[in-house]
Amino acid sequence: MAELFTREQARAWLRANNLKTGKSIQDAFINEIKGVLQEALEEEMNNTLGYSKYDYTNKNTDNSRNGHTKKTVKSQFGKIELDIPGDADSGHEP
């Protein structure tokens, strides 16, 4: 697996976000993980429906997006609250 970022990039990220304590680093890291998971969930919905959000020209289904449901997941870094995308047919299960 490719390296997510170099040590220099990690140091720059810590400095840019003024992260100096273990707790502040953990909170920022959880926020970054949440962003990655959120994008993965949205991409999974794109694949399920066959078109990306607002790309109605490629829509070949009667099914469509239908809001989000909040769900809290536990990780080794702590709890992460996610917005799980839903579909009108309720057939999508991430």
Count of other CB atoms within 10 angstroms of residue 80: 16
pLDDT tens for the chain, 94 residues long, are 788 889 999 999 999 999 999 999 989 989 999 999 999 999 999 988 888 888 878 888 888 888 899 999 999 888 999 999 988 887 767 6
Instruction: State the pLDDT at residue 66.
Output: 84
Note the pLDDT of residue 72: 96
Specify which residues 72 forms β-bridges with: 81
What pLDDT was estimated at residue 89?
83
pLDDT of residue 7: 93
